[in-house]
Amino acid sequence: MGNYKWTGLLLGAVALLLRGVAARFPTHTEAIYSRTFFPMIRQSIDATVGKLPFPTVYLFAAAVVWVLVLFFFRHVRKEGWQSKLRHLVRSMLNFVGFLVFFFLFLWGYNYQRVPVYQQLSIEAELLSPDQLLDELHLTHELLAQLRKQLSSDTLAIAHTVAYPELEATVRAEMKKTLPELGLDAKGQPRTKEFYPPGFMKKMGILGIYFPYTGESYIDPELHVLEKPFTVAHEMAHSFGITDEGEANFISWVVGVQSADFLLQYAAHLQLLRYQLGEMSRRDPEMYKEVVLNLDPGVKNDIISILLKARQTPPVFGELSRKSNDLYLKTQGVKAGVRSYAQLPALAYAWRKIQQVSGNRDPSLP
């Protein structure tokens, strides 16, 4: 009976011990968890709660409230401060233990798998100034060509496709592209819009994967040209890609290899924004010159995205960034939030691999 009272704490402790073992044997973790056990979890979730028409995180929140209410009523019935203190400490430790166990069991062990970079034989090495400029010009040229397929004028693109159609298209492209990269794509994961609009952006979040429900969510307030890349990024997490830089890279590859012009354009546009960000830090004068010569339509789209972001400024932006950085580093992502900005180097490395192998460059339309 005594051990039963500490079930959550014991499960959490065992899960952490297994995490240590998994980290020491990434190849076995890849084979046993990421490619065998996790796909079964993925398909089970998608066949059940994933079919609900609303974000199941609402149900999770309701369950947490219910647990807290039960705790309160049991707590007030305890007699004496020592009994109440023991009950409080035990309940908190069990609650945290259950959270740790289900986080790792349902998704978290993917952090200990063989890095996707390693599986694809690419490295995120810092680009030289000339390489960065050449890559930026290439991305800009591709964007200028693709934009003509989406709009006949240079006004900022404000409307694309309905969200259900976008989600289905991205999922179909993910399931086609991931196996081509040698990655598992079992399941039909959902990336749902989280309401109320603007709530996630105020928290400093554009999208998030929530392991306890097996779903990912994006803010409906995102600009229409941000949504395709963000959906693909979060859906990459749904397929077991944990590292943020890897999820960005997968999202980019999925976009540029798609036959859908919107997905191609959104992927290259996100890459261009990362390239411009890196250029602004390394060579401010060259950055100004590049921005001055941007295609009018592309420039208007970027301005539109920035203006849209200003409409819902984050309330806890810095806190969100620091907490996310700490979380990623505790999961073994040494670069922390800086991993997001590795996309320019990864895209360059991937293009070089395609050239060496004689394959068609996936970034070219």
- Measured in degrees and rounded to the nearest 5, phi and psi for residue 208 equal -160, 145
DSSP string, 156-199: PP-----HHHHHHHHHHHHHHHHHHTT----S---EEEPSSTTH
> Which pLDDT does position 327 carry in this prediction?
43
> Which pLDDT does position 2 carry in this prediction?
47
> Which pLDDT does position 77 carry in this prediction?
81
- Mean pLDDT in consecutive groups of 10 residues from the start of the chain, 365 residues: 75 96 96 97 95 94 92 83 85 93 96 92 86 94 96 94 97 96 95 95 91 96 97 97 92 95 97 92 92 96 94 70 50 48 87 72 55
C-alpha span between 297 and 143 (Å, rounded): 9
> Which pLDDT does position 13 carry in this prediction?
96
- Measured in degrees and rounded to the nearest 5, phi and psi for residue 165 equal -70, -40
> Which pLDDT does position 339 carry in this prediction?
45
> Which pLDDT does position 41 carry in this prediction?
97
Burial of 335 (0-12, 13-18, 19+ CB in 10 A): middle
Nearest to 249 by CA among 106, 111, 119: 119
CB 50 within 8 A of CB 188: yes
CB 158 within 8 A of CB 304: yes
